[in-house]
Amino acid sequence: MSNEKVVNANTEKVIWEYLEGKGLNAYAVAGLMGNLYAESGLNSCNLQNTYNKSLNMTDTQYTAAVDNGSYNNFVKDKAGYGLAQWTYYTRKQALLDYAKKAGKSIGSVDIQLVFLWDELQAHKSVINTLKNAGSVRVASDAVLLGFEKPADQSEAVRKKRAEYGEVYYKKYASTQRAESQEKPQAAGVPFSVKVDITNLRIRTGAGTNYAGTGKYTGKGIFTVTEVKTGKGSTAGWGKLKSGAGWISLDYATRLA
């Protein structure tokens, strides 16, 4: 990791909430973040130390040079870069393409999180372990051994990365629990909502801190009988009349 590692709490929170929003539980998010911290200090502009020296550029200078085109060897310079320290040329090319298509900096946290999540989908065993993780260590090991795959995969390294993850778990899982003390919203229930996406997750309670039921609504019209505020939704959470569970109203259109 380079010396440019000043990552504020807002960046940590952005990463936590993005991954949590993908349906990962707190153990999984913490285990993944612990690995990202070990790789980059959660600095999305992080350039591998040795290349700071050989290229005579800081993280910020390197990022700007790639963005403005004055440095055109990003893909094949073999330098680890970003949250996950992407190094292999095909992965760096894909990351660069993501940023260009979005019209954003290669060092954008948002772009890198989307790219990271997309990459993880090709690692089915890692994703499956994360979605069912019962501890930070289990999640951390899955990411270390199945995704990051550093040269050193010793027990000492595994333990250290899991310890990093535990820091985030203690910091954000406890905050998550505090914020999930739901308060009923006046919503004029019952009412109908229309869902236009196929993968709207149904949860056991009103918040992303509650586990998924393993089921999704599919597209259709549903009746909501109760509304509460809760973690992970600005519009609140709606309890389905069927008794199947709760859905985020961010992804539903109220009809009546």
Instruction: Say if 186 falls within a structural domain.
Output: no
Specify whether the CB–CB gap between 231 and 179 falls below 8 A. Answer: yes
Q: Which of 177, 201, 218 is the last residue of a domain?
A: 177
Asked if 191 and 224 count as a contact pair (C-beta separation under 8 A), the reply is yes
> What integer pLDDT is reported at residue 5 of this predicted model?
43
Which of 149, 177, 205 corresponds to the end of one domain? 177
CA–CA separation, 39 and 28 (whole Å): 17
Rounded Cα distance between 93 and 205, Å, is 41
Measured in Å, how far apart are the chain's first and last C-alpha atoms? 54
**Which of the four pLDDT bands, split at 50, 70 and 90, describes residue 235?**
confident
pLDDT for the residue 157: 95
Question: 40 in a domain, yes or no?
Answer: yes
Report which of 80, 98, 99 is spatially closest to residue 89, judged by C-alpha positions. Answer: 80
Quote the mean pLDDT of the chain: 89
| Residue 112 CB partners (closer than 8 Å, separation 6+) | 44, 82, 83, 84, 95
Per-residue model confidence (pLDDT) at position 189: 78
Q: What is the pLDDT of residue 247?
A: 95
CATH number reported for the structural domain that contains residue 118 in this entry:
1.10.530.10
Q: Percent of the chain beyond pLDDT 90?
A: 73
**What average pLDDT does the segment 192-212 reach?**
90
pLDDT at position 186 over 80: no
The tokens for 132 are 């069912």
CA-nearest of 181, 231, 178, 173 to 203 is: 231
State the CATH number of the domain containing residue 237: 2.30.30
pLDDT tens digits, 14-52: 999 999 989 899 999 999 999 999 999 999 999 999 999
Most confident of 50-64, 120-134, 170-184, 220-234: 50-64
Res 182 pLDDT > 60 = no
**Which whole-number Å values give the CA distances from 88 to 75, 186, 254, in the listed order?**
8, 52, 46
Per residue, the 3-state secondary structure of 128-177, as one string, reads HHHHCCCCHHHHHHHHHHHHHCCCCCCHHHHHHHHHHHHHHHHHHHHHHH
* 232 and 167 housed in the same domain: no
Residue 183 counted as domain residue: no
pLDDT at residue number 234 = 79
Whether pLDDT at 60 is above 60: yes
Please give the Cα distance from 94 to 100 (Å, whole number): 10
Q: Which two tokens stand for residue 208?
A: 């992303």
Res. 178: pLDDT tops 60: no
- Per-residue pLDDT for 76 more than 60? yes
Lowest mean pLDDT among 27-41, 73-87, 239-253: 239-253
Sorting pLDDT into bands at 50, 70 and 90, what band is 255?
Answer: confident
The reported pLDDT for the residue numbered 181 is 46
- Residues 121 and 245 placed together within one structural domain of the fold: no
* End position of a domain, from candidates 177, 205, 220: 177
pLDDT for res 198 = 85
